[in-house]
Amino acid sequence: MLRRALFASLMAAVLSACGKSQQEASVVSGGKIDAKLKELGIILPEASTPIAAYTPYRVVDNLVYIAGQGPSNQGKLGRDFTTEQGYGFARDAGIGALSQLKKACDGDLDRVVQCVQIQGIVNCTADFTEQHLVINGCSELFRDLFGDRGLAARAAVGTNSLPVGFACEVITVFEIRT
C-alpha cells in the first residue's frame, strides 16, 4: 500500500514536471475502461501480428476497422466443441479485438465512443444452428466493458472452415474520439 502511494506521488511529480494535466494523468495511470477491465479480471495481451498480408486494424476518420480476430482454439462447433465452449472462444476473440483497438487508440480505450458492428463467423458443422449464442461471447464482453455503447449491429454466421482452423472469428468496427 505504501509502495502504491509512493508510486502515485512520483508519477504526479513526473507529470507535473512534464506539464501534463490531471486528465492526461488518468490516461497514463489507466482510465475508466482500464479500471473496468481490471474489475472484470481481463488482462489484454499484446496485439497480435498478422498471419497473412493485411493490417490488423485501419483507422479511417473516427472509425477503427479491426481485422478478423480468432481464439487459439482450432476445431468445429457441433463436432469438437459445445456452444458454451464456443462462447468462451468468441469472448477470447473479442479480447484480441480489444488489444488491437487499444493499440489503434494509442493505449487509451477511454477514446472509444461505441462499438458499431460485430461480424461473427463460426467454424461449425452443417447442422449447427447456435452461431448467435457463440458470438454472444464477444457481444456480451463489449457490453460488460462499455455498457450499452458496447452493443453493436451484428451478424453471426456459420462456415465450414476458417483460417488455421479457428473455431470462430470476429471482425469489428469501433467509433473513437480523435
Q: Are residues 54 and 126 in the same domain?
A: yes
Report pLDDT for 96. 98
Report pLDDT for 99. 98
Q: Are residues 4 and 77 in the same domain?
A: no
User: Letter for the amino acid at 34?
Assistant: D
- Residue 45's CATH number: 3.30.1330.40
For 22, 26, 44, 136, 142, the CA distances from 93, given in Å and listed in that order, are 34, 28, 11, 11, 11
175 CB contacts (<8 Å, ≥6 apart)? 62, 63, 64, 112, 113, 114, 115, 116
Report pLDDT for 93. 98
Domain that includes residue 79, residue range: 31-176
Q: Are residues 54 and 69 in the same domain?
A: yes
Q: ∠167-33-21 over CA atoms, to 5°?
A: 145
Residue-wise burial string across 74-100, b where 16 or more C-beta atoms lie within 10 A, e elsewhere: ebbbbebbebebbbbbbbbbbbbbbbb
Report pLDDT for 27. 38
Q: Are residues 56 and 122 in the same domain?
A: yes
Residue whose cell numbers read 455498457: 147
| Residue ranges, the chain, pLDDT below 70 | 1-29
- Structural domain count, the chain: 2
